[in-house]
Chain A
């Protein structure tokens, strides 16, 4: 399985290297969908030169990166292109191994539930087989590396790619069961953009549950509570340590942002990310990784200053939920909406900024449509997941009381 992964990596790096060398690179790095004031490479360079001049990069209102990023690039500025290609590759590799392990866990859990006779008798076609699960990790890597959004984000040297890597490593270490490392990566990701804080809940749920499955579970349950406490302490400790330093993580509301959060009217959406965590935690407490996927998507949709790099991260998870495909209802329409919007961004931006014939409302409308499309897509996945779970326990062919075919209605 390693050979195809290497091949995908080689293709991905080639595409990126070719784009870095082309004249498109500059155009892409100016695109407002790809870089935001928080993740723009131009600003990193600005911060670095301020630092070189002995001026605090934070004295102006231009630089919003964290001190760690600026020190990282202080040494690596000449190899920036390489760094961004490597971060992308690392993200893909981390996701690859994470999903590989996750699939094993899913399969084990399914086997256990089958043995315990928890499933309804007629759900054979919903049971997942190792054959169909075999290529999922590779597909995840492929989806991440060759997603146009990721490529654009990498070519623009958006620091969002680094955040993605940290989140990917957080997922990997969580699935591997290492509470310490997962806390560190989550703290680092949170340090950079605050929103990954919400991933703490699914991460914790997952770590707790993998312990529950262990054979000697009686003891495990007991120790788990302690572990939970210590993990939380550790996490907060790391978080405090890292965040305690002067951070550029204040949210500047100075410049028009992209995608959502552009229009002043949508300011209230900025805190929206945090609203979903608790309800999702209650509904999906059995399925922390799906919860994590939904939460990452929610972050990408509702964060302030979102870019396509954020979108790319949750899109990489689509192959993991391949088995939900038959339950997705609007995938065609929603895919079309997302493609159409992605193409209309530059067109309407051109009309607004260059041609001057359209105004900001045209662009705002399309960002709103893009987000509505994403929201519907995620709720489609959510609903499909719930339906599959329902069918698994209640049987695929339900009949209502009067003997006709029953239907599930989401209310």
Chain B
């Protein structure tokens, strides 16, 4: 209470905030960025460790030896698939039954809001096939899932082969205490979503699907497998799920344990993990991995079909077999052994995975940064907004009140309310206009695609993306403030104050749920938001503001992403990718419920428009 009521200290603090505002803001911003960069260095990154007792101490001996069988299954599957052109449901059913599973199918159909040009689909209908291995040692109250998503562009025949071979092997073992579901989905993620919704008996995305005939217990963990070659050089693991959700770190630790045991080479974000963290090279390489993870998580897309499981509180990850030019290759037996080991350990679980971290960043497979250590980075960035808002408030307050209560006795001044009233009234128009623009951005592209295709020579998907861009750009040209106040400075200051608080609120909420997205947006939007004012070099500010708008951030992220993957983009390619990303973003919102598109269009874009209004305040 001392700080809040003691006038001497308050005055000192107020003076500090007012006089040193600019340097404090710069310092805070730099501290935020520096903190983030420092995350890859050892005191802040820690070694991962297994927290779950049930998976820690017990050793298992993997006995899977069905490599030939897996390859044979894969060949058969590929042949049948080629013949029928779709998922060979009948063959799968037959084969699963022959290895001793309870087999069910589920058909689903979904009309996408507009044609998906990347995956070339619009009216989607397909069938999922799944077989349940009933646990001999327990009632069917809990289950594990091994899933292989089959899509048009990912054949995954070897994954299906391995799945079937593993099923045959698992069937012969007596130690299973959890049902194991072997799931093959058509149209990759759409099929997974349909199956998950039916399994949990909910309908969140408007998918039409037949109800499931067979069920196992509550799913404890799931592993998605993507393999398209008979041999692999390494296994890549993907953890980022829908809306940036991550599985419990123990699941990743488990995977890593078995990779080490079997001598498998495993990668994260396609990067090998640096061995030496003490010199500078290791952390720098870690930073690359970390940035890739941040970009992936920020996109909010499910990177693999495991991403959809996370929404149902099922810990899941995707394993991808990579076949590159490395000399040493592993066959399916090595991958199968790793999977067998993971499933056996998961089988030991007595309760849900909950011991380890859910909120973490990974600069390497065996290193992580926990939430307590990475949050200050975004905290420092948001502090800039807070400091700026405090400064504006004090300036506004002083303008109306004379000096800020010298020693408790207010100086002679006119009462504040009249001028404040005008200030508030002039805020309503820009707030409403920008919010309405956001709503238009959210609703119109999908709603107006048919109108657009009738009047312009474009396809639906193009129409959606172009309408998006058009509305986005139109927001900049809208009439801004309508009021002409006596004190023009107060008007924009009040608007900026509101905008700063609005931005800080949104970024804070986003950073809590999806740190990467919050941090990425804060890094780009905070400096220009703090700078925006109608005086000084306006063109420079305008250019900066456009460069840091949400759409520009997305474009920039795409370039950074490819740069980090060591596959740099040309400008034209980048633009094409940007358009595709926009379409994907809208589609993923409608098909899986990804939140990035509504967040940007209903929250951050209107907020950004407010700063644009501040800049062009008359």
Interfacial residues, chain A to chain B (CB-CB below 8 A): 125, 132, 322, 325-327, 329-330, 332-333, 336, 339-340, 343-344, 347-348, 350-351, 354-358, 376, 379-380, 383, 387, 391, 396-398, 405-410
Contact = CB atoms under 8 A, between A and B. Distances in A.
Contacts of A358: 358-359, 512
B5 interface: yes
A354 B310 CA distance: 10
Interface stretch (B261-269, B401-409, B464-472): B401-409
Question: Which one of A336, A350, A379, A383 has the highest number of Cβ atoms from chain B below 10 Å of its Cβ?
Answer: A336
B136 interface: no
B245 interface: yes
Nearest to B310: A355
Contact of B505 (A343, A356, A379): A343
Contacts of A356: 313, 354, 358
B245 A406 contact: no
B513 to A, nearest CB: 6
A330 B408 contact: no
B214 interface: no
A326 to B, nearest CB: 6
B402 to A, nearest CB: 10
A336 B410 contact: no
Contact of B407 (A125, A322, A336, A406): A406
Question: Which one of B245, B409, B415, B508 has the highest number of Cβ atoms from chain A below 10 Å of its Cβ?
Answer: B409
Nearest to A355: B245
Nearest to A347: B509
Contacts of A354: 313
A355 B513 CA distance: 9
B5 A326 contact: no
Contacts of A383: 5
A372 B312 CA distance: 34
A405 B509 contact: no
Question: Which one of B5, B390, B513 has the highest number of Cβ atoms from chain A below 10 Å of its Cβ?
Answer: B5
Contact of A132 (B389, B397, B417, B501): B417
Contacts of B401: 326
Nearest to A339: B505
**Is chain A's interface secondary structure helix, strand, loop, or mixed overall?**
helix
Interface of B: 1, 4-8, 10, 245-246, 313, 354, 358-359, 389-390, 393, 397, 401, 405-410, 412, 415-417, 501, 505, 508-509, 512-513
A329 B405 CA distance: 9
A405 B5 contact: no
A322 B508 CA distance: 31
A292 B87 CA distance: 72
A325 B390 contact: no
Contact of A326 (B6, B389, B390, B415): B415
A9 B8 CA distance: 46
Given A326-B415, A406-B407, A351 B512 contact: yes
Contacts of A380: 4
A340 B406 contact: no
A409 B406 CA distance: 13
A408 B408 contact: yes
A336 B501 contact: yes
Closest 8 CB pairs of A and B: A357-B358, A407-B407, A407-B408, A408-B408, A410-B5, A356-B313, A332-B393, A405-B407
B6 A325 contact: no
Nearest to A340: B505
Contacts of B245: 355, 357
Contacts of A408: 7, 408
Contact of B409 (A329, A336, A348, A396): A396
A108 to B, nearest CB: 22
Nearest to B402: A326
